[in-house]
Structure formats: C-alpha cells, structure tokens
C-alpha cells in the first residue's frame, strides 16, 4: 500500500568496512552509508510471530522462520516483493514472494525500539532516540538522514504524497517540507504514533483521540475522541477506519468514516468488547480486525464478524495488508 524510493550514494566493498562504517554512522551520524550485506542470519526455528494468508483469511501460514525466538515486534511493512519487520534493535527482511520465506537481519541499531516506515520517500528505519536511516533502492545500504532533527522520543516517521516528512514524538508532530533540512513543530498536543493520508486528508492517532488535518499537516483538529487515546487509524475503501479507547465503557471501539474523517460510525457491535483490540484493515471486499480472541473478518462493512484464527496465549494480532494478502504479527496484548 505504500511504495518505496530515495537518493543514492555509494556501496562499500566488504563486510569489515561495512561494520566499521556502521559504527561510525550510528555514533556520529556521518554521511557515510551503512551496508547490511553479509550480516549474520537470525536464529532459525522461530514460530508464531508472523502469519500470512493469501485466501481471504481462510488459511494461514506461519512465516516466522529465521526470526529470533522471543522477538518483540515493533512495526511491519509488506510491499514490492519484500517484507520488513522492525523489532527491538534490528530490522529484519524477507522475500514475500517465496513460499518458504526466511528472515535475515538487514540492519542493526544501537538503540532499542527500532521501527520502520515506508512511503513515497522510501524505506526508513528509526529508533525512539532520534536515529534515522533510509534504505537505498535495490541495495543493502542504509544511509543516515535527518541528522539535524532535535525532537525527543520518536514514535512515527511518515511521508506524505507531496513529499513532506512528518515525525511524531511524545510532544506532537514535526513537519519538514524541504527533505528534512528544517523542521516545524506543527502540533504540540501529546504523542503521535500512526498517520495515514487519503484524498488530501491526514489523520493521526493521539493521546486525545484521532486528529485530522486538511492543509498538509499545518493545523490539526480532534475529530474522534471518547475520553481515551487513539489506538489505530487506516485508509479503507471510501474513507477511514479507526480504533479509540472509550473511557465510559472502558473498551476499545472500532469506527469508520465515509466523509473524510469528519464523522464516525461504530462497526463493532458484533465484536466481543475488549480493552485490547489492536488493528483494523481492509483487503478486497473484507474488513479484518485484530482482537485478543483472534482475527475477525467482516463481509458486510462491520455489521457482523466471523472469527477466522484464534489467538495464541495472551497475544493479539496486529494486521497489515499488501494487495489482497493479509499479514498478522503476533504481539503482546495492549500493544
């Protein structure tokens, strides 16, 4: 759903040089590339971390092979024939076209909580300590970027369709319209974790609910608030879907909007009430919901739901879609 590309520099000739350069870039943010080619593969034999369905959720394949046991996933992206998983201090990559997909470590960072994003500007890896790297197309090289960013506790990197960059932090949203040379603090009302864009409308999750911007992210208004935080927001056919926490019912609610995020309608009447509903996605004609009881599917825009895949232990599935293929990443409940 989100495409990739960016600038190019140069490749390093050998693995030892790559490792030396990596240490320099991570510690000092030099302009030197980080080469991931030759990094050791992750431990084989992992299970119950990432699942894939290519038949509308009727059957699921465990594609966790190559990931370390006990891994805590942060973010996930599928597109252009590759899968990327940001987890703890590393980014892992796999070939989405392969039936026997095996994950390999693609980038290691010194900081915890490594996450990834993908958009018109390409694949970006980042940590909560303001370290950012961008992957060169068709290479194993990651370049340090946004070296002048001075925010704190990074939670999100998002690239808008017009090329603007947004970084969500614990203290709001920063925007750059000049490829990260300068940054403007466009919203200062608490943390931002997710952001989407459709038909000139930007939406993001916030500790006050769901925020909306119609002027390229310069100004933001609360459009969905139920006393609690915004959990997730996604683009679906004809509008948006969102999950928020309702302080009155003490549950997470699932809603959709068909007027660009101005008004919202509930679609969770047939879902078991829960404090830990994690994600909402659309693939083809179906809506899918990651729930503590498992993965649910709706064929009637949320009027009714069918349980497709029960959860494992006390985990909850976070869902991602590429075309009509659904990926489910098993995470701790509440994440």
Largest CA distance in the chain: 60
Cα torsion at 276, 114, 122, 38 (round to 10°)? -130
Own/partner pairs, 89-92, CB within 8 angstroms, 24+ separation: 89/114, 90/114, 91/116, 91/125, 92/42, 92/66, 92/67
User: Does residue 23 carry a pLDDT above 60?
Assistant: no
Q: Is the dihedral of CA 219, 225, 229, 234 positive or negative?
A: negative
Mean pLDDT of 10-35: 33
- Residue 239's closest CA among 279, 278, 203, 277? 203
Q: What is the reported pLDDT for 49?
A: 94
Asked if pLDDT for residue 132 goes beyond 60, the answer is: yes
Of 130, 124, 212, the residue nearest 168 (C-alpha): 130
| C-alpha to C-alpha distances, 4 to 148, 202, 335, nearest whole angstrom | 23, 19, 26
Pair of tokens at residue 43: 């431990």
Q: Are 163 and 146 a contacting pair, CB within 8 Å? A: no
Identify the pLDDT of residue 334: 55
pLDDT in tens, 237-288: 999 999 999 999 999 999 999 999 999 999 999 999 999 999 999 999 999 9
Full DSSP string of 128-190: TTS-EEEEPTTSSEEEEE-TT---SSEEEEEE-TTS-EEEEETTEEEEESSTTSS-EEEE-SS
* pTM for this entry: 0.85
- Quote the CA–CA distance of 219 and 211 in Å, as a whole number: 10
The answer to whether the beta carbons of residues 6 and 117 sit under 8 Å apart is no
pLDDT at 112 over 80: no
152-186 pLDDT, tens digit per residue, is 899 999 999 999 999 999 999 999 999 999 999 99
Residue 99: predicted pLDDT: 67
163 within 8 A of 121, measured Cβ to Cβ: yes
| DSSP code per residue over 9-28 | ----SSHHHHHHHHHHHHHH
List, in order, residues 6 or more apart from 5 with CB less than 8 Å away.
120, 121, 122, 137
Q: How does 302-317 read in b/e, with b if 16+ C-beta sit within 10 Å?
A: beebeebbebeeebbb
Q: Check pLDDT > 70 for residue 40.
A: no
SS3 content of the chain, % helix, strand, coil (to 5): 5, 45, 50
3-state secondary structure of 314: coil
Query: Can you give the pLDDT at residue 138?
Result: 80
- Judged against a pLDDT cut of 60, whether residue 25 lies above it is answered with no
Q: What is the DSSP letter of 322?
A: E
Instruction: Find out whether 278 and 286 touch, Cβ atoms under 8 Å.
Output: no
Half-sphere exposure of 70 toward its Cβ, with a 13 Å CA cutoff?
0
How does residue 80 score in pLDDT terms, banded at 50, 70 and 90? confident
Query: Is residue 279 within 8 Å of 267, Cβ to Cβ?
Result: no
The closest of 147, 186, 148 to 195, measured between CA atoms, is: 186
């Amino acid at each position: 759903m989100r495409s990739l590309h960016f600038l190019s520099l140069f490749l390093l000739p050998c693995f030892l040089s790559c490792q030396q350069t990596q240490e320099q870039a991570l510690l000092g943010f030099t302009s030197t590339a980080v080469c991931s080619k030759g990094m050791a593969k992750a431990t084989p034999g992992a299970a119950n971390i990432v699942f894939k369905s290519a038949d509308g959720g009727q059957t699921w394949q465990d594609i966790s092979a190559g990931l370390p046991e006990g891994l805590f996933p942060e973010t996930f992206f599928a597109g252009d024939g590759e899968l990327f998983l940001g987890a703890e201090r590393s980014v892992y990559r796999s070939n989405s076209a392969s039936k026997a997909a095996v994950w390999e470590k693609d980038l290691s960072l010194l900081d915890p909580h490594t996450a990834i994003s993908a958009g018109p500007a390409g694949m970006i890896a980042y940590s909560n300590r303001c370290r950012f790297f961008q992957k060169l197309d068709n290479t194993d090289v990651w370049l340090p970027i946004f070296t002048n960013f001075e925010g704190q506790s990074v939670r999100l990197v998002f690239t808008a369709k017009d090329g603007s960059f947004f970084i969500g932090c614990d203290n709001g949203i920063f925007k750059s319209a000049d490829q990260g040379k300068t940054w403007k603090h466009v919203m200062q009302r608490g943390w931002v974790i997710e952001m989407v864009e459709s038909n000139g409308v930007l939406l993001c999750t916030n500790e006050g609910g769901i925020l909306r911007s119609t002027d390229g992210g310069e100004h933001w208004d609360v459009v969905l608030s139920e006393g609690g935080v915004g959990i997730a927001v996604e683009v679906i056919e004809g509008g948006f879907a969102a999950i928020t926490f309702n302080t009155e019912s003490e549950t997470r609610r699932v809603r959709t909007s068909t007027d660009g995020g101005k008004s919202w309608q509930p679609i969770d009447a047939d879902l078991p009430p829960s404090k830990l509903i994690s994600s909402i996605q659309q693939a083809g004609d179906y809506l899918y919901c990651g729930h503590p009881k498992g993965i649910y599917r709706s064929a009637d825009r949320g009027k009714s739901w069918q349980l497709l895949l029960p959860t494992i232990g006390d985990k909850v599935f976070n869902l991602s879609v590429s075309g009509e293929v659904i990926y489910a990443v098993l995470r701790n409940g509440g994440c």
